[in-house]
Chains A and B, each alone.
Chain A
Amino acid sequence: MAENPRSFQDIILRLQSYWASKGCAVLQPYDMEVGAGTFHPATTLRSLGNKSWAAAYVQPSRRPTDGRYGENPNRLQHYYQYQVLIKPSPPDLQDLYLGSLSAIGIDAGLHDIRFVEDDWESPTLGAWGLGWEVWCDGMEVSQFTYFQQVGGHDCKPVSGELTYGLERLAMYVLGIDHVMEMPFNDPQSPIPLKYGDIFRQTEEEYSRHNFDGATTEMLLRHFEDAEAECGRLLDMPADDPKTGKRIILAHPAYDQCIKASHLFNLLDARGVISVTERQAYIGRVRTLAKKCADAFVMTEAGASV
């Protein structure tokens, strides 16, 4: 095996080339603020319908409530997930996954790798699946899920989803105790950069923004706007008078759902959502996600034929 990775980006690059070599389309991150890689339409929407699919990508993810001003050794409001989605789930998905660990330097001959029950559920996406969290020497390094339902639709066939928390995984592989100390590029580079060189300041800025800066009235208004827009786009007749084609606005509507979800997360971080309201907001986002899923399965990419 090649020598062990030396930097954060080395780990990402190895995952990219590993999954590319296993036949996945290596996609780019979705260009919107999302809470997790699952929100990328390449996962949420593409897990619907019966067309085969295989994609892998890095997804920058934001969890406003997790901001710690860059001080906590492993908590960040902005972090990266590595996401793989293969439909139908191949019979050797566990072996493929273990191969990816080996590619980033986790040798099963030295480490203790375990699949520990963990059923995944996303109340905002109306989605659930069964699987495990994968432990390496007692640390959770990935989520491994067989999707059963997304947006209220049964997944037929079933997609296998792998999610790696990249910072945590990389810190473990590289033996780093504080995320900000992790080499981002090769420490031997002419200009070596650590994770903190790139993100310490933004973690501070966004932590302050998320907890104290963001204007709640505006966020509330934008939430309502996104919600309304999502519904409006989906209510448009499928037949486009201009082109004469049948064009359902599933993806543009889903963008609004993503927006609403992120706005809700920001409102949550601002502390303006009470415990009872919380459930109501989650329910509203779920309704949008379900509508988008309903629309997507009417399109060519999402159909079951």
Chain B
Amino acid sequence: MPDLLIELFSEEIPARMQARASDDLKSLVIIGLVEAGLTYSGAAAFATPRRLALSVEGLSAASKAVREERKGPATTAPDQAIEGFLRSTGLTRDQLEARDLGKGQAYFAVIEKPGRAAAEIIAEVLEHTIRNFPWPKSMRWGAGSLRWVRPLHSIICLLTDEAGATIVPLEIDGITAGNTTRGHRFLSKGDIRVSGFEDYEAKLKKAHVILRTEERADAIWHDATNQAFANGLEVVEDKGLLAEVSGLVEWPVVLSGKIGEAFLGLPAEVLQTSMKEHQKFFSVRNPRSGRIEGFVTVANTETADHGATILKGNQKVLSARLSDARFFYENDLRVAKAGMGEWLDGLANVTFHNKLGSQRDRIARIAALAREIAPMVGADPAKAEEAAIIAKADLRSAMVGEFPELQGVMGRYYALAAGRAPEVADAARDHYSPLGPSDDVPTAPISVTVALADKLDTLTGFWAIDEKPTGSKDPFALRRAALGVIRLVLANDLRLHLDRLIDTQILRHKTAGNGDRKSAALLDAVLDEIADHGVFGAAVRAIIDQIEGDAPDWVQMVTHHTPDLSDSLVEFFHDRLKVFLRDEGIRHDVIDACLAMPGSDDLTLLVKRARALSGFMGSEDGENLIQGYKRASNILTQAEAKDGVEYSYGADVKFAEGDEEKALFAALDRAEAAIAPAMKAEDFGAAMAAMAALRAPIDAFFTAVQVNSDNQVVRRNRLNLLSRIRSICLSVADLNRIEG
């Protein structure tokens, strides 16, 4: 069983592409080999900045010969059909065999594929892999036409067995596969000849190249934490940075330095971001003060002065960078202490979206909505409005201009510098959350309010200008915004009439810049009212009726507001909610059954109901009750269709004949008595438990009783009884939507 070693040696491969590329190399080659009929016992792929490598163990020396028989058309079939068969098999007519099939003759093709040597297959597969490699971006170089991530210099393709190593004959665009590679760019000279994977890895190490990424990462982390520990400090963990840095070096050498005293006053986030983004340094923290006081840089080489020159150079670059950062920070603080007015005004010049106005317009809308949401979240309306107004001021700061990822974080520092209350300042930092699925959800009322208002304004805005996400296209991250709202509502157990807030904000978008100042105040009052009581509230009318003389254009918009847009957005929320709950193991039909119930724009209520129903469905009683319910419902529907009447009322226990029937009456009475108050208290668990208690009586009823009795009085009574089952069950959720 031979082993295979492949190495593709190139100029520096971008760090972010290495892991994916080594996986791709492995899967493409392995799939190719297996499809061609080879087997193997194990495979592993590796990447360094200058090479991708693959080791395949226990490869079969050749593919097996294959004999395949295929049945073709009848011998009497038209020529066209027979020619088609010849084309698909690659045979000629005289090579086909005619065989008797009892009812006639048919052609058979017998295709024999001889086994092929592994080397032949490998050469083919590797060439195909190289020519079709899925790099995110690839390039040509020199006068050639081959594409690779950066110029490809050499290929090792080596088969090794007991007899020794053989180079697989292969040539791609002038590069001939061989058995040599090169070591570290500066710490190794000349070619390295290898005889197999173990030899390859060992010789590379001697040539100052650590082949395995995780070994490089471990070495970096080990040395970094040790050096920090020796100074009484700790390295700030950053897995992403560690992965990136491991992809930038073949021979990691960890060097530790100190941040100049002059820069220690900068916020920790600024130090960390500047060092990471510009220089790929790890931050080193003093555990006693919590301050970032040092850095760790990873060089790719050993030097005679043990890195002194390298460290000095890096330190110098850091000082220049941090001088810039300090310059930005000090200037920003000046603007912040003056009240941030310069930034707030400046936001008028920044377009948010050409159909949705400037950032300042956007902030005004968010602030108005935040005021409306605040009481529903238990936040002070004035503070929520204030927080919304300043939450995005830092977008105009020099620091956020330089490091966009610090938006919000700087906003908090600057709001504090401007003398704002801590909870207002926190909202500047937290109102973007949650962004990713692992982000924490804000819980402070003001932060929650502004976060909701921000996201709802974005969603309603893009709905209002008809820029909804389609298929895979979601350029404004609206799915993420909707998921953010869902998580904010659920995590904080908020009871919101989402459709009212959506109506309010859609109208606010549509009426933007409409009417004079006096009518604008009335419009605000109308929108407040809609947020509280919905579009059709009587108070809305009352306010509109106060308008004297010609009504401004917005009145028409408000009174003729159709709910199509809001409905479509609420539906979008429901779709996101299904995705969100699917991860919890709640089926989409369970959610559909709950969506059909009133108040489905109250996401907290909806989810409470869905969780209870899902738990119920998972129980044996639940599953069987659904069957009983469906049976009752089917019989009833058929009878109603046949008789042309609706059986909905009047079941009387006095017409009940057997014990089972009487028992069902009693059970329904009990269930009804338990379910109504439980539903009122939104105790869906108790309601479902009461419903579950119906399972046994319903089953017993159907076993013992024939609904369609010859006695019409008894039959009608039973149908009305079934109707009670239906209405009791449907008061909990729309069980008709449950599949299966």
Contacts and interface: CB of A to CB of B under 8 A. Distances in A.
B139 A112 contact: no
Contacts of A73: 320
B43 interface: no
B3 to A, nearest CB: 30
Contacts of B12: 114-117, 132
B139 A109 contact: no
A111 B151 contact: no
A146 B141 contact: yes
A127 interface: no
Interface string B140-156: 11111000011101000
Interface residues of A, number: 37
Interface string A95-127: 000000000000011111111110100000000
Nearest to B309: A110
Given A116-B248, A130-B150, A137 B314 contact: yes
A115 B413 CA distance: 36
Contacts of A160: 141
B410 interface: no
B141 A119 contact: no
A7 B458 CA distance: 57
A244 interface: no
Given A112-B299, A114-B300, A138 B317 contact: yes
Which among A94, A111, A130, A275 has the highest number of chain B CB atoms within 10 Å?
A: A130
Contacts of A148: 139-140
Contacts of A114: 12, 248-249, 300
A238 B312 CA distance: 59
Nearest to B16: A117
Which among A112, A131, A136 has the highest number of chain B CB atoms within 10 Å?
A: A112
A129 interface: yes
A136 B310 CA distance: 8
A257 to B, nearest CB: 26
Nearest to B354: A276
A160 B150 CA distance: 12
Contact of B186 (A90, A113, A172): A113
Contact of B314 (A138, A157, A177, A276): A138
B14 interface: yes
A212 B722 CA distance: 87
A119 B309 contact: no
Given A89-B142, A90-B142, A137-B309, A112 B153 contact: no
Contact of A88 (B142, B153, B297): B142
A130 B137 contact: yes
A120 to B, nearest CB: 11
B659 interface: no
A230 to B, nearest CB: 30
A119 B137 contact: yes
Interface string B290-333: 00000001011101110101101110111010000000000000
Nearest to A131: B150
Interface in A256-297: 275-276
A111 B150 contact: no
B237 interface: no
Contacts of B76: none
A145 to B, nearest CB: 10
Contact of A136 (B248, B297, B313): B313
A139 B317 CA distance: 6
A17 to B, nearest CB: 24
A74 to B, nearest CB: 7
A94 B142 contact: no
Contacts of B248: 114, 116
Contacts of A157: 142-144
A158 interface: yes
Given A73-B320, A129-B139, A112 B300 contact: yes
A276 B143 CA distance: 40
A158 B310 contact: no
Contacts of B141: 88-89, 146, 158, 160
Which among B142, B297, B309 has the highest number of chain A CB atoms within 10 Å?
A: B142
A116 B149 CA distance: 13
Contact of B304 (A110, A117, A158, A276): A110
B140 A172 contact: no
A241 interface: no
Contacts of A275: 350-351
A171 to B, nearest CB: 10
A139 B297 CA distance: 12
Contacts of B11: 94, 115
B279 interface: yes
A190 interface: no
Given A88-B143, A91-B142, A130-B139, A109 B351 contact: no
B186 A138 contact: no
Contacts of A117: 12, 14-16
Nearest to A137: B313
A17 B299 CA distance: 31
A141 B739 CA distance: 65
B297 A158 contact: no
Nearest to B253: A112
Interface in A152-200: 155-158, 160, 172, 177
A262 to B, nearest CB: 25
B14 A111 contact: no
Interface string B261-281: 000000000000000000100
A138 B297 contact: yes
Contacts of B303: 109-112
Contacts of A109: 186, 303-304
Interface in B1-45: 11-12, 14-16
Contacts of B313: 111-112, 136-139, 172
Interface string B337-378: 000000000000011001000000000000000000000000
Nearest to A50: B143
Given A74-B320, A112-B299, A276 B142 contact: no
A130 B303 CA distance: 30
A132 B153 CA distance: 17
Contact of B140 (A131, A132, A158): A158
Interface in B447-481: none
B139 A146 contact: yes
Given A112-B310, A276-B351, A137 B317 contact: yes
B149 to A, nearest CB: 8
A91 B153 contact: yes
21 contacts: A91-B142, A91-B153, A94-B11, A109-B186, A110-B303, A111-B309, A111-B310, A112-B299, A112-B300, A114-B248, A115-B12, A117-B12, A130-B139, A136-B313, A138-B313, A139-B316, A146-B141, A148-B140, A157-B142, A172-B313, A177-B316
Given A156-B140, A172-B313, A276-B351, 13 more contacts: A91-B153, A110-B310, A112-B310, A114-B300, A117-B15, A117-B16, A131-B150, A136-B313, A138-B317, A138-B318, A158-B140, A158-B143, A275-B351
In the A-B complex, list the 10 residue pairs whose CB atoms are closest, starting with the nearest: A137-B313, A117-B14, A157-B143, A115-B12, A138-B314, A112-B299, A88-B143, A130-B139, A88-B142, A112-B310
